[in-house]
Amino acid sequence: MMSSNTLISPTELANSLLKTTYSANEAKVALDLLCAGLQDFGYDATPMITKHCPGDASAPITDPRHKGVRYGDDRNNSQFLYCKKCTSYNDPVLAKTYGGNFQCTVIGSFVFPKTNRVLTDHKEVMLTALYPHPTECCTSTLHMNNETGGWAIIPFDFENIIGKSLDRIIDNISGLTSADLGNGNNKYSKLLTSGSQGLPHDRRFFIPIDPLKSPDIMTDDDTSQDIVNNTHGLLDDTFVKEFQQLRTRLTLFLANQRGIETELQFEMPHHPDNVGVCWKPLLTDEQHLSLVNPSVLFGGYMPKREGRVKQLAVNQIPHCDFGAVNGTPLSDNILLRNKTLPCTVLLPLLDHRTLMIYKDDDDKTVVHEVKANKGELIIFDGDVSHGGYTYMETTPLQLHPCLHFYMYSTLHKSDLSSFDVDVHATCNLAEQFASVLKPNKYTLINKEIPRRIADVDKAYTRLNKAGLLNDAVKQESILAMEELLCFMRNGTRMKLRGTI
């Protein structure tokens, strides 16, 4: 499996695409098909088009007389693809925009293979190298944040980026019931819970895909991972290769979409002979981001319980994935100033996935219900408060699986086996979480929570009168509820049982 610190070469980048060879009855048509296929990754590709070919094969790429594409060349000679939007020699308007100066951005190379000599019914073109390039080129800054800040939903081509490499997993988990998953000792997945002994509503299962290949991850000593690996064939050579290429394709898509190609693990973020303003020089130690800890994460579900007055599907407790490092929060890390923050990426695999995002507005917490469908991904910064949506249990389970990655930064080595509870949001939304929290499951710290005790008291009383508290919570005193929130205020780093 691809190591998190392995640099991706232009050849590996090209080979990761699900289709690299196109054929047609004419070479030009085949090349047009190749350029169209690259659109799914944000490229606007074209060969060099010129009416004044100098006929000099040795002319450097920066020469404004650079040769146009040689459609008749079937000698495996490499030729270049360019960005149509920022290569001035293709467009007189662009040439004027850049003061008449030549500008070009190479995004890849291709060949017309030798086999074309003997084939009479079609011509082939094959992509041999690929370089990242921002989808919105010719702009100085690209931002992910929308009006809520720190998160976005991005459409992508599911078939060309994810492909069919995860189909076996999807088939295996389709039709499962809660009995199949049990308490985590099952062959399909592992159990992920929050806190030292877990929250009772947090029945969240996941399939770690390569837990031993990512940094700062704690793995279990038991054999459960081996069982899960065998069930889904996660160590099969074919799957390992396909998933490595999947991660490479997703890295390329995010690099182009967000314009962060110099911060990701590319051996050559740009062709060395590019000319103009549409590329950024690579700075020392700037390549700090990589996609790590892949897993298939199931949607949480609320187990059916007998004897409850009402059953509430309570969402995952608000938290942030990337906590402080040596006491320094993500937002205060000066090493990340003017750089892309580490983040989390979710890609629904079957139907849709819903995420709750919590944003502070003065002293209130505003809740955003973010839903992404298959063919869309959710991406959010590591300091964005969020929680997984919890569904009611059905038979069979509607697990809403998604592919989950962390975009890890070597400049902020956060412990990914834990998360930071958003105490402010949890206190503000106490009525949503109090109905299933069991204070006796935690080591309570006897400290006061200024300003919050009265709010919790009122919320507890209203819930109790409405009959919304389960028996376990009814048996706990209001003091225990206060102490629980005290614990969360003073010890907000929760360990995860399981591994993502």
- Residue 237: its pLDDT value, please? 92
Instruction: Give the integer Cα–Cα distance in Å for 378 and 292.
Output: 16
- Residue 169: its pLDDT value, please? 96
List beta partners, residue 356.
369, 387
Taking residues 92-117, what's their average pLDDT?
71
Backbone angles phi, psi at 214, to 5 degrees: -120, 155
CB atoms inside a 10 Å sphere around CB 477 = 10
- Residue 436: its pLDDT value, please? 45
Taking residues 59-76, what's their average pLDDT?
64
Contact status, residue 130 vs residue 37, Cβ threshold 8 Å: no
Q: Which of 57-61, 123-127, 273-277 has the highest mean predicted lDDT (pLDDT)?
A: 123-127
Taking residues 447-473, what's their average pLDDT?
50
* pLDDT for 256 beyond 60: yes
Boundaries of every domain in the chain: 10-130, 151-425
Domain 151-425 listed as CATH 3.30.70: no
CA 166 to chain centre: 16
pLDDT tens string 404-454? 999 999 999 998 877 777 877 877 776 676 544 444 333 322 233 334 444
Q: Which of 89-93, 158-162, 201-205, 451-455 has the highest mean predicted lDDT (pLDDT)?
A: 158-162
With bands split at pLDDT 50, 70 and 90, how would you rate the model's confidence at 195? Answer: very low
- Residue 194: its pLDDT value, please? 56
- Residue 406: its pLDDT value, please? 96
Averaged pLDDT score across all residues of the chain: 76
With bands split at pLDDT 50, 70 and 90, how would you rate the model's confidence at 362? Answer: confident
The residues, any chain, with a CB within 8 Å of residue 250's CB and separated by 6 or more, are: 161, 291, 345, 347, 405
